[in-house]
Structure 1
Amino acid sequence: MSHTAHIRSHRKPRRSASTIAMRAGVAGGVLGTLAVAGASGSANAAEPVAQTLELPTLTSDVAAQVARSADATQQAAANYELQAERDAAAANAAKQAKADLAEARKKAAQARKKAEEAARKEAAARASRTAERTAPATTTSTGTGSSAGTSAGTTVSTSTSTATGSAAAIVSFVEAQVGKAYVSGATGPSAYDCSGLVQSAFRQVGVSLPRVSQDQSVAGTQVSLGNLQPGDILYWGGAGSAYHVAVYVGDGMFVGAQNPSTGVVERPLSYDPPSGAVRVL
């Protein structure tokens, strides 16, 4: 025993039961807290496992979104491609339309040029016919017969010989038609055109003539205008290309279906000197 053991103040105080119980309670509380913390830590440590289990769900959603994005991208690309095709088609159509328009304009210009050329030729021919019809007679003679010259200086006979036979029948027929109407394409009996009157007149004596002036001007024997006889066919224009015909009736006169304004008339040769004559009878 220590030499100070008998001194009361130097003795270590004994632990009381309450103190020991309190300390045990504190220790138990600490241990309980640690146990709770450990359990909590274990629970927290298990949370990543729970998150790992949810990852497949999250990955599936992302995949669906990626797929939808890919579909949208593909659709947009298809739309762009379709628009590009439409733009190319529109450009080609516009190019073709431009080419077609240029071709149409070219053809229209050619047609217009041809029409103008035809109009010029027709005007020139009409002027030539007018000059021939209005040319004054250059010579006149008297006697048993008389003659009138054309603008070209050709002498036109105006014999007073009387028609006989078939020629007389032709002369009588055409003179009977004087005053009737001129109608293009008509061959009687109420209206005629120039070649229709001549054809109808020769039909009276059993002679069949061609229908048009061009053919009638070469239907017989060509005779000079200085040797005309009643019943001869007079023509205006060239032989084979005549544009007008009439019948010489003697005494320097002819009967013809002239035009719509005059109809069938009897006129002197000087009124419209013919270009030539043909004898059928």
Structure 2
Amino acid sequence: MSPNAVIPSHRKPRRSASSRALRAGVTGGILTLAVTGAALPANAAEKPVAETLEMPTVTADLVTTLAKSADAAEQAALEYERQAAQDSSTAAAAKAAAKAKAEAERKAEAEQKAEEARQAEEAKAQERASRSTERTTLTTRAASTGVSTDATASTPRSTGTGSSSSLVGFLQAQLGKSYVMGATGPSAYDCSGLVQAAYRQLGIDLPRTSQQQSTFGTQVGLGNLQVGDILYWGGAGSAYHVAVYVGNGNFIGAQNPSTGIVERPLSYSQPTGAVRVL
């Protein structure tokens, strides 16, 4: 055999593609994957390639933390729903209470108005009955004495009888006389002086002042007046003026220095109260 003979080699030819090896490991709880080129083409520089993917390690503590977070979120949601339901219930209760209060106030107001209307109607009925009784009494007295009770007459006259008739007669005789403070007649009077002088004609001695005369006798309502009743202005016991009721809705009194002794209707100056002596 020639020394230059070529003996075929049994070695496999080198691959042109690079082979890669996969290495795996755990470092500090991190899974590490490394891929390194095993071979490169002959004309290329050796350059190792590494690719790393880090993934969290699932531990018992992590699972516990996640579970607690989920429980806390669920508890917060339940608390929110409970608070919302409570707020809604409170608002509904407040609205119902306000409605009930308004209804109660409306009902109370209606009842009060109804009661006031009833009392007003009752007072009117009593006043009508009193006036009817007074007219009947005056008519009866007029028939027995022959004195006119015509309201259209130029000067209404009393229809009283007996002592009340004498009282009214004396008062009418004083009309036109002067008002003088402290005077008791016979040419001039003040208000209480005139009332005292009128009752003296009947043998009745009254106190001197308006305050005393307003409590002398029996208190009577203005809707139930009789001829001869003493009218007073101001409080009982503290009256500042007095006069005498002479019937037909009129009174006679010593009013003031400018008018003197006059006869006036009750509407001229509504008295506060009255006392009955006869």
Q: Which has the higher contact order (CA 8 A, sep 6+)?
A: 1
**Shorter-chain TM-score tier:** 0.3 to 0.5
Larger radius of gyration: 1
